């Protein structure tokens, strides 16, 4: 699938030379090479999703700093279990959840995960939570058989864009009436965010935010392109654009959210 002209129109706002990183270190800049030990071999459908998720967790670590959850556990127990953010920054105040999403496919925001993050935000209003959505073109992960190295290579060359949203916007989408709900079926209860709406955060974030009935002036948009020498698992990552949306009112929003404490 060719890269859309809309993605190409997002110009790079930063460059860099040599991303250098390992899985057991903490990082605070955007210049890293990312590696993590793995035994290799073929993957099944479950392992494939996990390995794809790992690739994008490493990308998030490289772009925004911090550690993978597995190497720097920050967890709080409440209700039904543990919260497990994908990436934690060195000061422990910013948590990242990474999501891989094939082009044209919807994003399912699972009730259980969203509610855990919401409760965490209520308990720790000084923390900031981000969701990183990555759009790629990988097809048939449940059917294809390839090695971990081959999967990493494909994703490194076929990631089209990133959308980094504060949890305030994610929770707004999750609870907004404009999106479909999936409930009481054999799968997880969730809110389904269609692909077209999610892409609007790249092409027209003002419109996306207005459709959520919030004011765009509350947010700051930062557009970037990954550096030309970004390497993950010894695979060169083809530069792709990403937008990070910051909520200037996040602290006040989090404090107001604490009024919803359910106990």
Closest of 46, 9, 1 to residue 240, by C-alpha: 9
How would residue 42 be classed by pLDDT, with cut points 50, 70 and 90?
Answer: very low
Count other C-beta atoms under 10 Å from residue 258's C-beta: 12
At which residue do the structure tokens 């999403």 appear? Answer: 101
Percentage of the chain beyond pLDDT 70 is: 72
Phi, psi of 240 (to 5 degrees): -135, 150
Q: What is the pLDDT of residues 49-99, one digit of tens each?
A: 567 778 899 899 889 888 886 544 444 444 345 678 888 887 778 999 999
Q: Is the pLDDT score of 102 beyond 80?
A: yes
pLDDT at residue 45 above 70? no
Average pLDDT over residues 142-146: 63
104-133: burial string, b at 16+ Cβ within 10 Å, e else: eebbbbebebbebbbbbbbebbebbbbbbb
Mapped onto helix, strand or coil, the DSSP state of residue 155 is helix
Average pLDDT rounded to a whole number, residues 217-241: 91
Alpha-carbon separation of residue 26 from 69, 74, 157, 229, 259 (angstroms):
11, 14, 26, 20, 34
Contact 233, 58 (CB under 8 A): yes
Tell me what pLDDT residue 25 has.
33
Its pTM stands at: 0.80
Contacts of 128 (CB under 8 A, 6+ apart): 93, 94, 95, 166, 167, 250
Q: Is pLDDT above 90 for 249?
A: yes
Side by side, the strands of the sheet bearing 219-225 are 67-68, 87-88, 94-102, 128-136, 159-166, 241-247, 219-225
- 181 Cβ contact partners less than 8 Å away, ≥ 6 residues apart: 189, 190, 191, 192
- Is residue 48 predicted with pLDDT exceeding 70? no
Return the closest-CA partner of residue 102 out of 148, 150, 138, 56: 138
- CA dist., res. 32 & res. 22, Å (int): 9
Distance of alpha carbon 231 from alpha carbon 251, whole angstroms: 34
> Residue 145: what pLDDT?
67
Tens digit of each residue's pLDDT (9 = 90 or more) over 154-176:
889 989 999 999 999 999 999 99
Mean of the pLDDT values across residues 194-213?
95
Q: How far apart are CA 235 and CA 35, in angstroms?
A: 10
Q: Are strands 190-193 and 107-110 parallel, antiparallel or unpaired?
A: antiparallel
At residue 169, the pLDDT reads 98
- Check whether 46 has a pLDDT greater than 50: no
Q: What is the pLDDT of residues 18-29, one digit of tens each?
A: 333 333 333 333
pLDDT at residue 19 in the model = 39
Report the share of the chain in percent with pLDDT over 90.
44
d(CA 39, CA 23): 15
Alpha-helical runs (H) found in 37-133: 45-64, 111-123
């Amino acid at each position: 699938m060719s890269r859309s002209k809309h993605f190409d129109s997002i110009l790079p706002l930063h460059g860099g030379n040599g991303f250098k990183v390992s899985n057991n270190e903490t990082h605070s800049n955007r210049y890293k090479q990312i590696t993590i030990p793995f035994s290799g071999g073929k993957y099944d459908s479950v392992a494939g999703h996990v390995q794809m998720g790992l690739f994008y967790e490493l990308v998030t670590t490289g772009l925004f700093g911090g550690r993978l959850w597995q190497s720097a556990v920050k967890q709080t127990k409440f209700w039904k279990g543990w919260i497990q953010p994908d990436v934690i920054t060195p000061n422990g105040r910013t948590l990242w959840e990474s999501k891989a999403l094939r082009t044209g496919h919807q994003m399912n925001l699972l009730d259980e995960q969203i509610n855990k993050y919401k409760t965490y935000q209520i308990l720790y209003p000084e923390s900031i939570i981000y969701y990183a959505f990555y759009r790629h073109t990988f097809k048939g992960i449940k059917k294809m058989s390839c090695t971990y190295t081959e999967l990493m290579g494909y994703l490194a060359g076929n990631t089209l864009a990133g959308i980094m949203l504060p949890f305030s916007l994610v929770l707004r989408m999750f609870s907004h009436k404009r999106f479909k709900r999936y409930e009481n079926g054999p799968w997880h209860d969730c809110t389904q965010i269609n692909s077209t709406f999610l892409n609007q955060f790249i092409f027209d974030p003002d419109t996306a935010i207005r459709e959520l009935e919030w004011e765009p002036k509350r947010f700051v948009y930062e557009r970037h392109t990954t550096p030309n020498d970004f390497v993950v698992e010894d695979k060169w990552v083809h530069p792709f654009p990403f937008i990070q949306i910051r909520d200037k009112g996040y602290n006040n929003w989090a404090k107001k959210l604490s009024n919803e404490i359910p106990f």
